[in-house]
Amino acid sequence: MDTRIILPQSEIPRAWYNPLPDLPTPLAPPLDPETKEPLTPEKLEPIFPRALIEQEMSGEREIAIPEEVRNTYSLWRPTPLVRAKRLEEAIGSKSRIYYKDESVSPTGSHKPNTAVAQAYFNKAAGISRLATETGAGQWGAALAFASRMLGLDCTVYMVRVSFEQKPYRRILIRTYDGEVHPSPSEHTKTGAEMLRQDPECKGSLGLAISEAVEDAAMNGDANYSLGSVLNHVLLHQTVMGLETKKQLEMAGQNPDYVIGCVGGGSNFAGMMLPFLPDKLEGKPINFVAAEPKACPTLTKGDFRYDYGDMTKLTPLIKMYTLGHSFMPPPIHSGGLRYHGGAPIMCNLVREGLVQAKSYFQEECFEAARLFQATEGYLPAPETSHAIKSAIDTAKQAEPGSNVVFLYSGHGLLDLAAYDAYLRSELGNYELPGESIEQALQSCPDVE
């Protein structure tokens, strides 16, 4: 049996799996940030196309994937499911370890799965440009790629400190003809105002979101795109889990553990959601969400309404949150530093259907190095959390178990982080209870 399980392109899923109708408890509705009343779809129309708003609240279990999206997916999909035999041997595992390899996409992560879909539905709605924010650049690169493939323009507001210190993903965005502005920028009122107050301002993700949303809301040709958290983003990411189901069937195996790292939650959810119906039918599948101890949203946060961003622009959403004012320590997993989490995923954690675990930064880098030393490839720091969790799980699992994790991206543009690790300059961060208590006080008083 091959260690890489490959599906033909004809097996790229024809429909995404929408978990909304299957959730044991329905999602609490997002609330208008001003009125605190449930949000109406019309409120979202200045920045999202109707098709995506419909997906956001659809009751259909299956939502068809348009042929142009499948066609673009075929540049890298279906992605391989790989049996990590050398890793198993190195840890003396009696379980099989499989990883779903999303690092093979053009920008090196799972992000293009939703970027391509979002670009498609915006284009179909007559939009000619997408605006978004990006921190380290993983999402910005994915959206620039997708826009290039679908023939849209793309404007990326990149947190200034990353723009200056991490030039590689910024250049990658430029190679896809994406326009990149360091945020705060002079291109929006929000940015210009901030620069007037503080010309040296290094920016923040919240501020970059504000700029991108303003750009989209003020310009009729442009819409806004978000790379995680929202229901439609998780929906698009289910292609990963849907393929994995088929691949495990080809290998004649059932999954016992499905593991992913968690920032906003889209990679983990995109992997595990297609297995949710099986679990609800009684199959003994364990879903494990791996997060950093430095940003322990699911393991230490409160389940309540909070803003999605620091600047309180977004609707209020019910989720596990550390408080929207939470400032995470400077860990190298830039994609895992979000104060909240996708409502669908938080709902499943709340129901006890998903188990959350948290890990120190250094033990994750150690796991990444072991993966690299055995399987050959260098993982992204974010992905290392899933690897650490998979290794721990495989060691403790019943012999013969199948441990499946999502390999969300490669680390070739994160080499500075590995350099810091090799120089023993990383350090561990665990939030003390008091500082979490304090951050949680920023949550609004809404039931």
Q: How far apart are CA 406 and CA 386, in angstroms?
A: 7
Residue 74 within binding range of a second copy, rule CB under 8 A? yes
376 touching a second copy, by CB under 8 A: yes
Minimal distance in Å, beta carbon 384 to a second copy?
12
Nearer to a second copy, 17 or 145 (CB): 145
- The residue range among 15-23, 31-39, 72-80, 263-271 that interacts with a second copy, by the rule CB under 8 A, is 72-80
Q: Is 177 in the site for a second copy (CB under 8 A)?
A: yes
Interatomic CA distance for residues 42 and 183, integer angstroms:
28
Minimum CB separation of residue 410 from a second copy in Å reads 8
Is residue 145 near a second copy by the rule CB under 8 A? yes
- Interacting span for a second copy (CB under 8 A) from 89-97, 350-358, 381-389, 411-419: 411-419
Among residues 172 and 272, whose Cβ is nearest to a second copy? 172
Closest CA to 200 of 166, 165, 156, 160: 160
Query: Is 174 a binder of a second copy (CB under 8 A)?
Result: yes
Q: Does the protein bind a second copy through residue 129 (CB under 8 A)?
A: no
Q: How far apart are CA 204 and CA 353, in angstroms?
A: 33
H or E segment to which residue 27 belongs? none
* CB 126, min distance to a second copy, A: 22
Please give the residues from 81 up to 100 whose contact with a second copy meets the rule CB under 8 A: 86
Spell out the SS3 assignment of 67-108. HHHHHHHCCCCCCCEEECHHHHHHHCCCCEEEEEEHHHCCCC
Tokens linked to 68:
């142009």
Q: Is 68 in the site for a second copy (CB under 8 A)?
A: no
Classify the C-alpha dihedral 319-324-329-330 as positive or negative: positive
Question: Contact between 246 and a second copy (CB under 8 A)?
Answer: no
Between CA 170 and CA 62 the distance in angstroms is 36
Cβ distance 146 to 121 under 8 Å?
Answer: no
User: Which residues, numbered 412-431, are part of the site for a second copy (CB under 8 A)?
Assistant: 412-413, 415-416, 418-419, 422
Per DSSP, 273 falls in state G
Nearer of residues 64 and 171 to a second copy, judged by Cβ: 171
> If DSSP codes are grouped into helix, strand and coil, which group holds residue 297?
helix
Residues that bind a second copy (CB under 8 A): 2-4, 6, 8-10, 74-76, 86, 104, 106, 108, 145, 148-149, 167-168, 171-172, 174-177, 369, 372-373, 375-378, 412-413, 415-416, 418-419, 422
